[in-house]
């Protein structure tokens, strides 16, 4: 069904001089959509033309509306020669296609040229009239909302979380088409930009269709990536989580369900066998697990799971051995067989959800309270593929007419058909799924996929966190009954996710289990690795910190299959070492859990790089980590002994220092009082004590204790020595700085409103002479450390601050070049407030929210926080959301002072507690929702008021950018749509533009500018969940040339300062504390 | 391991004021790093020299990119590439257009041409200001000059509008532009004792009173060029010294008025004719371009120096000049011979009479002879 697109070109400014003689420009504009082009008049002799054109109207299918970008070209009119292009603007009109988002795009857009960069600006107004389409066979999916945010967006409520959606589109890369030899670099770049814009539009539309099919209305955690495969093409792929979202404008409608304790719904025992509906292939028996996990799988993979067993586990026991992308027939046949059997199982399962739940994956990293029941551990799979072998039958991409090849059905999969990338990914996902099953989990959360390509070798990676989810959210219309469930769970909410999901007797790997330190009922592993954000209800002691493992491995240069084999042989060792490093560093920090783990393996011509980043925290529910124990191989040598003990002392000192630095003071637990003494923990605590007393004692420790309290590092050669040294060389950030790669820094919750998002890129050239693994490792380590130091120095004016969402990306653009790209956001926080965590501003807002707050607060804090969690989906307005995120902290504080002798008493009378809580819940929920109702219209109105003055002052409004899903001290009132932009910049005058640094610096600044301009044109004032997905930089200094491709995405939003909200609404007297932290607002 | 590329781009452009200053002062990256190391920043922050180097390079690159925009400050406000808070924008502009006293003293009144630009290295060695910084300042003068050269309206307002400078800086630029346009000679040894502030003060008064804009406010170039008609009219002042009777009458009028009030009365009385002749001759010659250029030199030679040799205190000079111009009004013959406009101009020529003495005193400080003369000169202007 058609829609009508209307475009008006208003004016231009700061245009470049195109006519040397007059120092002026005769500019006109071409507006193109699909195959229709309109032109404005030529505005003679001006650098600030006022076209004020009529409305150009395009009547188009909504399919086209989704796929095509609006293309605006500014040209200089030449009477005698061809008109010169000044530059272009591509506008994605997708945000105009769903009702709640933007209604008009209007503003100044930078005019961008791939050779010259930004050349002036153009003022454009775009509108869309969309006719409702009721055709059920439609090809478009207008109305499906897309979010990059990997959590439920702040002003929405998730009704159902349907699950995984994925799609990929393949086309020929224009850069490698024959025509590229005769066209200009500009034409080639533009063809590429346009093609990718088209492909991502198409991809989004197709994913939208899938979502509609699932009866969802939104995609959350949408991640789109490009694979520039060179000769073999260009792949655009995307994954996301389909959801049904409700706008939070009418929270009242939701209330009754929560407040009626009517239905007697039986709780399903999650631990053993979750609701069969939730996962497709029946109950997971140990036998089946084995079949999957030890299959001679084609791709190399390995499960890194929730324990230190990684060390004792040789990589081979993981999942088969690494193998080349292409392999012999028998293996393949085996694989097929297996896949087939899996499919049969699925086919046989009678559930109606089976089709859609092909992969029970979720790209989300943060969840509504209660969604996550248990976390198993990180699952990952990698596969090495050769690109030159692909001959895709549907590979007939012609410019502007893309077709993708998609395997429609698994059943049609047979060995005669050529492999496609779809099949590759399906294979990897299958493996992930089986790993998850091996961990006793039916779902994978925090799921992501990535590739690394070098020449014709491609490593596909997928990773996620195996988890058991609460089935309620996965089904239609099951919001009721939530209350009951919650009540039963209440006691263990804050530690529940740490409990092992797998069967203790049938553990997929040797792990060391203890009883949960929080509830004392369930078993927990001693270390937990996850790819998700720290759950808001988790109890954390102290602060978190960024932990990185860095690794390089040299590899012989080789061709095709030999190369692929070499890589896949190296991979297991790399993963093993990365995990070892992570584990060591975690122990060194005195922490016991990793969140947001992201392991990136990058392949280059002659080396492989591994970089793992995660945020380490101390989870109160998990046992105290033991120290690191160094053992020498040659105990007779006296001096060696001495050296070892010296080193040991150093390590112990570091651990002690780190504990102090990150304020890790776990409560001294006296097991006896609890009444059920568990032997292991007691031993542990004794060991720990002895360790902290003196280092000498530690060296004497009898390791035959067998319990892995102290983590043993064997030093048998210089390599190991190096490793230990490198452990110790990691310098902590300067005082006043914290860093993490998750959304929020555990242990800090009083953010002030100053934020600074930045991207930093570094490329180093290695000296090619006699490179060794050690030298390489050192170089790489130095590179990352220096980069971090540099960041700390640059941002020193923001102290005290925290670098959040630190995202490192490594690439190897050439033989001896290593490129590291970092994007992160620095957020300031109030140091004074950091100390008194219980007095969070959020709680104050809560206080203000309820008139009978005193009564509410009389309950122990635990209850207070529980009451919040008890909303199955609390109306997630900003402050409430953060309220729940903060509530973990007071609890943690409390834990330190709690008298455990009362624990049993409390347990015995927990029924009474529940009654109390039920009251609290009812009270709390009513109160809070009322506030929300009041606040939101005020917020909207307020923003309108607010937005006016800055515009009046200067024409350029401030647009904030952040990789986080929220803006500290502000409330997101509206999501305007997804920003997904791809830019190419090329230069043939590299020296003149300030060399590579000057070139890239300018380009990145331009990319930021264009993102900001688009957001501002949509009426937004911030980008959240911003991510630079790709930054491919190529240079040829000899030819004075360079080229760079950048792909960024994020969600355009409108936010309102909380302080403004308060001033306007003036519902309650502003607490001094709150205002003081938000008043220091600086335009960022 | 060598660093090939090293950049940092913030959503809000980071601007380090210290580095900006070093950049403006024309230090190379290496020198700037050395200076920063000396400032003890490494100890304060615990950073390494490599970090400092990278940071400095990064800032320099940013400034380099910003420089293009700083050439037309309104562009900086409207551009989209760098997100800079308004206060920072103002700081960037103000600092960029700030200049060194020593440098401006060297080029004041010179033609802002390529030729002068070539001499910048001499100025650089003489003043100890880096050549880069000299070039920036020179280019700033030239750019401002070019932009406001043919514009209507008040010079200061134009400069403020097109370069978004603070009021004080815009006034200074107006003085520089005015001097450059009229090419007043300021480099002579005799004039060395005068500071830029002194000249700027003169320029302001001259713009107010001597230019086309002072007469008619709607003309091109109005504040830049001297009013030719006025200069022509000044010729007629010659009668004050040419006509013996008039001269005597004038002298007696002044002397009567000042008797007892002047500490140096006798010297004044003795020198009156010389002084009057000197002043009137300077004024009368102003129709020739060359003499206009030498205005300040002549004034110093003909008036300031005689006064200085007689040790006139500043207040006496003021009294004298006030009375000198005031008494002309009461000269019968003069009034007959010259039209009303001339009077107006004549007053303007000797603005000591028309301006409040306080303004001159504000700059005055000590009582040394040297300073007397200086203030006297200002006052006279």
User: Which one of B5, B65, B75 has the shortest CB-CB distance to A761?
Assistant: B5
Average pLDDT over every residue of B207-221: 65
Average pLDDT over every residue of A757-773: 84
Tell me which residue has tokens 């400078």.
B165
User: What mean pLDDT value characterizes chain B?
Assistant: 76
Better-predicted residue by pLDDT, A417 or A716 = A716
Report the run of H or E that residue A974 belongs to, with start and end. Answer: strand A970-987
Q: Do B9 and A796 touch (CB under 8 A)?
A: no
Pick from B2, B3, B9, B48 the residue to mutate for testing the A interface (most A CBs within 10 Å).
B9
Q: What is the dihedral of CA A1056, A1057, A1061, A1064, to 10 degrees?
A: -100
**pLDDT bracket for residue A340 (50, 70, 90):** very low
Q: Do B9 and A794 touch (CB under 8 A)?
A: no
Assess whether pLDDT exceeds 70 at residue A872.
no
State yes or no: ipTM above 0.85.
Answer: no
B50 contacts in chain A (CB < 8 Å): 786
Lowest mean pLDDT among A411-425, A983-997, B179-193: A411-425
Within 964-1003 of A, beta carbons closer than 8 Å to B belong to 994, 996-998, 1000-1002
Tell me, yes or no, if A759 comes closer than 8 A to chain B by beta carbon. Answer: yes
Average pLDDT over every residue of A246-275: 41
Q: Which residues contact A949 (CB under 8 A, 6 or more apart)?
A: none
| Residue A782: closest C-alpha in chain B | B1
Assess whether pLDDT exceeds 60 at residue A899.
no
B6 contacts in chain A (CB < 8 Å): 761-763, 790, 997
Q: Do A783 and B1 touch (CB under 8 A)?
A: yes
**pLDDT bracket for residue B32 (50, 70, 90):** very high
Average pLDDT over every residue of B163-187: 88
User: In angstroms, how far is the first alpha carbon of chain A from the final one?
Assistant: 43
Assess whether pLDDT exceeds 80 at residue A58.
yes
Tell me, yes or no, if B103 comes closer than 8 A to chain A by beta carbon. Answer: no
pTM above 0.80, yes or no: no
Q: Is A472 helix (H, G, I), strand (E, B) or coil?
A: helix
pLDDT attached to residue A1002: 92
The C-alpha atoms of residue A14 and residue A110 are separated, in whole angstroms, by 10
| Strand-strand pairing, A27-33 and A70-76 | antiparallel
Average pLDDT over every residue of A913-936: 34
What percent of chain A is predicted at pLDDT more than 90?
A: 14
User: Which one of A793, A994, A1084 has the shortest CB-CB distance to B12?
Assistant: A1084
Task: Tell me how crowded residue A393 is: count the other CB atoms within 10 A of its CB.
Answer: 9
Cβ pair A757, B10 in contact under 8 A: yes
Pick from B18, B39, B83 the residue to mutate for testing the A interface (most A CBs within 10 Å).
B83
Better-predicted residue by pLDDT, B269 or A913 = B269
Task: Tell me how crowded residue B79 is: count the other CB atoms within 10 A of its CB.
Answer: 24
Q: Residues for chain B: how many in total?
A: 381
List phi, psi (to 5°) of A195: -60, -45
Within 38-97 of B, beta carbons closer than 8 Å to A belong to 45-48, 50-52, 54-55, 57-58, 61-62, 64-65, 75, 77-83, 85-86
| Residue A953: closest C-alpha in chain B | B86
User: Which one of A793, A954, A1082 has the shortest CB-CB distance to B47?
Assistant: A793
Assess whether pLDDT exceeds 60 at residue A867.
no
Assess whether pLDDT exceeds 80 at residue A843.
no
pLDDT attached to residue B20: 93
pLDDT attached to residue A55: 92
| Residue A764: closest C-alpha in chain B | B3
Angle at A862 between CA A857 and CA A867, to 5 degrees: 75
Tell me, yes or no, if A782 comes closer than 8 A to chain B by beta carbon. Answer: yes
pLDDT attached to residue A590: 85
Closest to A612 (Cα-Cα) out of A818, A780, A802, A767: A780
Within 802-821 of A, beta carbons closer than 8 Å to B belong to 817, 819
| Residue B14: closest C-alpha in chain A | A794
pLDDT attached to residue A944: 35
Ordered by start, the domain boundaries in chain B are 17-82, 101-215, 228-379
Assess whether pLDDT exceeds 50 at residue A836.
no
Assess whether pLDDT exceeds 50 at residue A510.
yes
- Among A416-420, A525-529, A1022-1026, A1067-1071, name the most confident range: A1022-1026
Distances (CA, A) of A468 to A376, A439, A442, A481, A656: 8, 10, 6, 19, 35
Tell me, yes or no, if B263 comes closer than 8 A to chain A by beta carbon. Answer: no
Pick from A119, A777, A793, A1007 the residue to mutate for testing the B interface (most B CBs within 10 Å).
A793
pLDDT attached to residue A856: 33
**Angstroms from A999 CA to nearest CA on chain B:** 10
**pLDDT bracket for residue A1045 (50, 70, 90):** very high
Closest to A392 (Cα-Cα) out of A406, A379, A402: A406
Is the omega angle on the peptide bond into residue A800 within 30 degrees of 0, that is, cis?
Answer: yes
Cβ pair A998, B66 in contact under 8 A: no
The stretches of B149-218 forming alpha helices (DSSP H) are: 155-163, 167-182, 196-209, 212-215
B48 contacts in chain A (CB < 8 Å): 786, 789
Pick from B3, B12, B88 the residue to mutate for testing the A interface (most A CBs within 10 Å).
B12
B7 contacts in chain A (CB < 8 Å): 760-762, 997, 1000-1001, 1004
Assess whether pLDDT exceeds 50 at residue B150.
yes
List phi, psi (to 5°) of A60: -140, 160
The 8-class DSSP code of residue A732 comes to P
Long-range contacts of B289-292 (CB under 8 A, 24+ apart): B292/B182, B292/B183, B292/B184, B292/B226, B292/B231
Cβ pair A11, A109 in contact under 8 A: no
User: What mean pLDDT value characterizes chain A?
Assistant: 69
pLDDT digits (tens, 9 = 90+) for B41-94: 888 887 888 889 999 999 999 999 999 899 989 888 888 889 998 889 999 999
**pLDDT bracket for residue A505 (50, 70, 90):** low
pLDDT attached to residue B354: 31
pLDDT attached to residue B96: 94
Assess whether pLDDT exceeds 80 at residue A785.
yes
User: In angstroms, how far is the first alpha carbon of chain B from the final one?
Assistant: 66
Better-predicted residue by pLDDT, B84 or A710 = B84
Assess whether pLDDT exceeds 60 at residue A858.
no
A13 contacts in chain B (CB < 8 Å): 78
The C-alpha atoms of residue A47 and residue A24 are separated, in whole angstroms, by 6
């Amino acid at each position: 069904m058609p829609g009508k697109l209307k475009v008006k070109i208003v004016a231009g400014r700061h245009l470049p001089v195109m006519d040397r003689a007059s120092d002026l420009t005769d500019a006109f504009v071409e507006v193109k959509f699909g195959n229709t082009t309109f032109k404005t008049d030529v505005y003679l002799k001006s650098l600030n033309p006022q076209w004020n054109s009529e409305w150009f109207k395009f009547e188009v299918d909504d399919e086209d509306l989704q796929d095509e970008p609006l293309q605006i070209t500014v040209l200089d009119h030449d009477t005698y020669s061809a008109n010169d292009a000044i530059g272009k603007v591509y506008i994605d009109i997708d945000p105009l296609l769903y009702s709640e988002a933007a209604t008009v795009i209007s503003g100044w857009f930078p005019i961008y040229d791939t050779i010259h960069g930004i050349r002036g600006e153009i003022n454009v107004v775009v509108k869309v009239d969309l006719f409702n389409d009721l055709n059920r066979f439609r090809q478009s999916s207008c109305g499906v909302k897309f979010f990059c945010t990997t959590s439920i967006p702040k002003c929405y409520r998730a009704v159902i979380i349907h699950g995984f959606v994925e799609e990929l589109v393949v086309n020929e890369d224009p850069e490698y088409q024959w025509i590229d030899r005769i066209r200009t670099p500009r034409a080639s770049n533009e063809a590429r930009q346009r093609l990718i814009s088209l492909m991502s539009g198409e991809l989004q539309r197709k994913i939208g269709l899938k979502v509609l099919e699932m009866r969802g209305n939104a995609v959350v955690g949408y991640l789109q990536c490009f694979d520039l495969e060179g000769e073999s093409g260009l792949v655009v792929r995307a994954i996301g989580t389909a959801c049904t979202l409700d706008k939070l404008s009418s929270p009242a409608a939701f209330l009754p369900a929560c407040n009626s304790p009517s239905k007697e719904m039986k709780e399903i025992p999650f631990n053993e066998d979750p609701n069969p509906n939730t996962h497709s292939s029946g109950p997971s028996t140990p036998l089946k697990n084995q079949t999957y996990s030890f299959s001679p799988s084609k791709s190399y993979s390995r499960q890194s799971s929730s324990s230190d067993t990684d060390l004792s586990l040789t990589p081979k026991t993981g999942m088969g051995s690494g193998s080349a992308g292409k392999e012999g027939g028998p293996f393949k046949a085996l694989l097929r067989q297996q896949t087939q059997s899996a499919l049969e199982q699925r086919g046989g399962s009678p559930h109606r959800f089976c089709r859609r739940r092909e992969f029970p994956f979720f790209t989300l990293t943060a969840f509504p309270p209660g969604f996550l029941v248990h976390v198993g551990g990180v699952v990952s799979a990698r596969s090495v593929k050769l690109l030159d072998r692909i001959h895709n039958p549907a590979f007939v991409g012609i410019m502007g007419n893309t077709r993708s090849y998609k395997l429609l059905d698994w059943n049609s999969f047979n060995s005669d058909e050529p492999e496609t990338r779809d099949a590759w990914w399906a294979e990897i996902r299958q493996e992930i799924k089986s790993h998850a099953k091996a961990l006793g989990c039916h779902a994978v959360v925090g799921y992501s996929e990535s590739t690394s390509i070098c020449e014709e070798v491609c490593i596909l990676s997928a990773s996620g966190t195996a988890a058991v989810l609460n089935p309620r959210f996965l089904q239609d219309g099951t919001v009721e009954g939530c209350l009951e469930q919650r009540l039963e769970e209440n006691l263990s909410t804050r530690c529940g996710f740490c409990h092992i999901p797998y069967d203790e007797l049938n553990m997929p790997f040797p792990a060391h289990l203890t009883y949960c330190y929080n509830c004392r009922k369930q078993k927990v592993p001693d270390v937990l690795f996850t790819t998700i954000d720290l759950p808001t209800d988790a109890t954390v002691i102290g602060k978190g910190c960024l932990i990185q493992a860095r690794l390089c491995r040299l590899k012989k240069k080789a061709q095709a299959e030999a190369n692929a084999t070499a890589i896949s042989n190296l991979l297991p060792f790399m993963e093993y070492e990365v995990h070892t490093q992570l584990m060591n560093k975690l122990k060194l920090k005195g922490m016991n859990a990793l969140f947001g783990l992201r392991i990136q393996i990058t392949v280059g011509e002659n080396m492989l790089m591994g970089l793992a980043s995660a945020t380490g925290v101390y989870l109160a529910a998990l046992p105290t980590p033991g120290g690191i124990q160094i053992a020498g191989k040659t105990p007779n040598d006296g001096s060696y002994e001495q050296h070892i003990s010296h080193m040991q002392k150093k390590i112990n000192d570091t651990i002690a220092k780190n504990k102090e630095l990150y304020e890790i003071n776990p409560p001294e637990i006296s097991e006896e009082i609890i009444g059920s003494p568990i032997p292991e923990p007691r031993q542990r605590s004794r060991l720990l004590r002895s360790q902290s007393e003196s280092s000498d004692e530690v060296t004497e420790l009898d390791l035959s204790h067998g319990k892995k309290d102290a983590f043993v590092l064997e030093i048998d050669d210089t390599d190991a020595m190096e490793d230990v040294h490198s452990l110790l060389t990691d310098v902590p950030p300067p005082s006043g700085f914290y860093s993490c790669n998750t959304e929020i820094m555990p242990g800090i919750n009083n953010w002030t409103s100053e934020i600074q998002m930045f991207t930093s890129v570094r490329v180093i050239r290695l000296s090619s002479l006699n490179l060794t693994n050690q030298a390489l490792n050192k170089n790489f380590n130095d590179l990352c450390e220096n980069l971090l130091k540099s960041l700390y120095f640059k941002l020193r004016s923001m102290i005290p601050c925290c670098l959040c969402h630190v995202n490192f990306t490594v690439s190897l653009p050439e033989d001896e070049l290593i490129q590291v790209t970092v994007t992160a956001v620095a957020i300031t926080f109030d140091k004074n407030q950091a100390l008194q965590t219980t007095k969070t501003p959020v709680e104050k807002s809560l206080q203000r929210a309820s008139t009978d707050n005193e009564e509410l607060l009389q309950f122990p804090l635990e209850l207070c926080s529980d009451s919040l969690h008890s909303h199955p989906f609390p109306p997630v307005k900003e402050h409430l959301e953060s309220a729940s995120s903060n509530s973990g902290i007071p609890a943690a504080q409390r834990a330190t002072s709690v008298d455990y002798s009362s624990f049993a008493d409390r347990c015995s009378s927990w029924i009474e507690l529940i009654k109390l809580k039920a009251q609290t819940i009812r009270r709390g929920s009513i109160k809070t929702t009322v506030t929300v109702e009041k606040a939101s219209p005020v917020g909207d109105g307020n923003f309108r008021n607010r937005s006016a003055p800055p515009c009046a002052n200067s024409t350029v409004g401030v647009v904030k950018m952040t990789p986080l899903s929220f803006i500290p001290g502000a409330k997101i009132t509206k999501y305007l749509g997804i920003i997904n932009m791809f830019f190419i910049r090329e230069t043939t005058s590299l020296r003149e533009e300030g060399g590579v640094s000057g070139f890239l610096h300018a380009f990145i600044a331009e990319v930021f500018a264009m993102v900001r301009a688009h957001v501002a044109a949509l009426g937004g004032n911030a980008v959240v969940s911003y991510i630079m997905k790709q930054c491919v930089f190529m240079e040829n200094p000899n030819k004075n040339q360079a080229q760079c491709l950048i792909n960024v995405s994020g969600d355009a939003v409108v936010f309102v300062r909380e302080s403004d909200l308060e001033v306007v609404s003036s519902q309650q007297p502003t607490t001094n504390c709150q205002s003081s932290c938000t008043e220091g607002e600086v335009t960022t | 391991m060598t660093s090939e590329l090293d950049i940092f781009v913030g959503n809000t452009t980071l601007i380090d004021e210290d580095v900006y200053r070093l950049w403006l002062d024309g230090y190379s990256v290496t020198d700037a790093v050395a200076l920063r190391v000396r400032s003890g920043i490494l100890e304060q922050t615990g950073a390494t020299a490599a970090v400092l180097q990278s940071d400095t390079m990064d800032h320099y690159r940013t400034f380099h990119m910003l420089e293009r925009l700083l050439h037309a400050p309104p562009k900086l406000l409207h551009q989209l590439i760098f997100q800079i808070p308004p206060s920072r924008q103002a700081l960037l502009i103000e600092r960029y257009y700030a200049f060194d006293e020593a440098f401006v003293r060297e080029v004041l009144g010179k033609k802002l041409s390529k030729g002068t630009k070539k001499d910048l290295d001499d100025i650089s060695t003489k003043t100890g200001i880096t050549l880069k910084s000299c070039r920036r300042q020179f280019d700033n003068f030239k750019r401002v000059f070019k932009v406001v050269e043919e514009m209507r309206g008040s010079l200061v307002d134009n400069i403020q509008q097109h370069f978004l400078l603070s009021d004080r800086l815009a006034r200074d630029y107006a003085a520089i532009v005015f001097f450059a346009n009229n090419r007043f000679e300021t480099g002579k040894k005799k004039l060395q004792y005068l500071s830029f502030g002194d000249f700027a003060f003169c320029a302001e008064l001259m713009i107010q009173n001597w230019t086309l804009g002072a007469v008619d406010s709607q003309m091109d170039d109005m504040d830049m060029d001297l009013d030719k008609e006025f200069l022509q009219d000044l010729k007629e002042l010659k009668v004050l010294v040419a006509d013996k009777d008039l001269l005597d009458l004038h002298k007696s009028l002044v002397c009567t008025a000042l008797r007892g009030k002047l500490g140096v009365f006798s010297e004044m009385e003795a020198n009156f004719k010389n002084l009057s002749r000197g002043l009137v001759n300077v004024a009368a010659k102003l129709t020739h371009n060359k003499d206009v250029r030498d205005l300040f030199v002549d004034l110093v030679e003909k008036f300031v120096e005689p006064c200085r040799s007689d040790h006139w205190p500043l207040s006496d000079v003021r009294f004298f000049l006030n009375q000198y111009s005031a008494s002309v009004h009461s000269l019968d013959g003069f009034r007959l011979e010259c039209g009303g406009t001339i009077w107006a101009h004549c007053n303007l020529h000797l603005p000591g009479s028309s301006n409040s003495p306080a303004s001159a005193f504000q700059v005055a400080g000590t009582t040394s002879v040297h300073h007397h003369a200086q203030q006297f000169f200002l006052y006279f202007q």
